[in-house]
């Protein structure tokens, strides 16, 4: 049985697009970059820790497979996680304005005695944002709970002038790469039925 170790409604929605049945494990893992840790190592470690924390809860269930994932926005080697408040969201958006940043999403798939992982990097270019754009977007509440203080699948879509990479990866779970990892564990994605049935 597959379990998603995540509190994120986006990841739940994205994984459901692979037409799979899965359980949810709400895990809490501290997200703090260690001194000298590269953005890539950091995002991979946090994904692995989320999956590992989930596996501890279901390890007694034979055949349990747990997926953990982490997304961070990286600008000039600086990592932007989720903003603490609207002021921090505005500061992040001001930094991203008129620049190209990277979005890293790591996925870790674990079972008793086995781990597989992938790291997906995408490039996102933002138009120059006016003070009014930034204030309006921060006031919408959408930046909260999102790496880099924006949602490409929401109001920030209009800020994006170019995307190179994985759209679902920017949203929080790269579906192509996740489907490949799952296949290694004998779990096969399929297209959900158009009538809404899984």
Ligand X SMILES: Cc1cn([C@H]2C[C@H](O)[C@@H](COP(=O)(O)OP(=O)(O)OP(=O)(O)O)O2)c(=O)[nH]c1=O
Q: Which of 44, 55, 58, 103 binds ligand X (CB under 6 A)?
A: 103
Strand bridging mode 65-75 / 2-5 = parallel
| 143 contacts ligand X (rule: CB under 6 A) | no
| 7 contacts ligand X (rule: CB under 6 A) | yes
**Residue 161: both structure tokens together:** 């002038």
3-state DSSP assignment of residue 104: strand
Looking at the Cβ atoms of 48 and 50, the one nearer to ligand X is 50
Catalytic site positions: 70
| 94 contacts ligand X (rule: CB under 6 A) | no
CA–CA gap between residue 39 and residue 136 (Å, rounded) = 29
Helix (H) or strand (E) holding 37: none
| 40 contacts ligand X (rule: CB under 6 A) | no
Kindly state the smallest distance separating residue 97's Cβ from ligand X, in Å.
Answer: 15
Q: Is the dihedral of CA 43, 75, 34, 37 positive or negative?
A: positive
| 149 contacts ligand X (rule: CB under 6 A) | no
Of the candidates 47, 155, 49, the residue with the CA atom closest to the CA atom of residue 93 = 155
Kindly state the smallest distance separating residue 29's Cβ from ligand X, in Å.
Answer: 7
Per CB under 6 A, residues contacting ligand X are: 6-8, 10-11, 31, 50, 69-71, 73, 82, 103, 145-148, 150-153, 170-172
């Amino acid at each position: 049985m597959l379990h998603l170790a995540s509190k994120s409604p986006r990841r739940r929605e994205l994984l459901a697009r692979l037409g799979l049945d899965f359980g949810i494990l709400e895990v809490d893992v501290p997200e703090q970059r260690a001194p000298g840790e590269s953005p890539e190592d950091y995002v991979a470690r946090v994904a692995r820790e989320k999956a590992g924390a989930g596996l501890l809860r279901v390890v007694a269930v034979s055949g349990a497979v747990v997926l953990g994932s982490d997304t961070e926005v990286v600008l000039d080697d600086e990592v932007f996680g989720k903003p603490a408040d609207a002021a921090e969201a505005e500061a992040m958006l001001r930094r991203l304005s008129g620049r190209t940043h990277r979005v890293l999403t790591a996925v870790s798939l674990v079972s008793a005695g086995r781990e597989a992982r992938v790291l997906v990097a995408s490039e996102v270019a933002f138009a120059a944002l006016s003070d009014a754009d930034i204030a309006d977007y921060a006031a919408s509440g959408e930046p909260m709970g999102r790496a880099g203080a924006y949602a490409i699948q929401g109001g920030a879509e209009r800020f994006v002038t170019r995307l190179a990479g994985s759209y679902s990866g920017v949203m929080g779970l790269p579906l192509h790469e996740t489907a490949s990892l799952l296949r290694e564990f004998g779990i096969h994605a399929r297209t959900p039925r158009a009538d809404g049935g899984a």
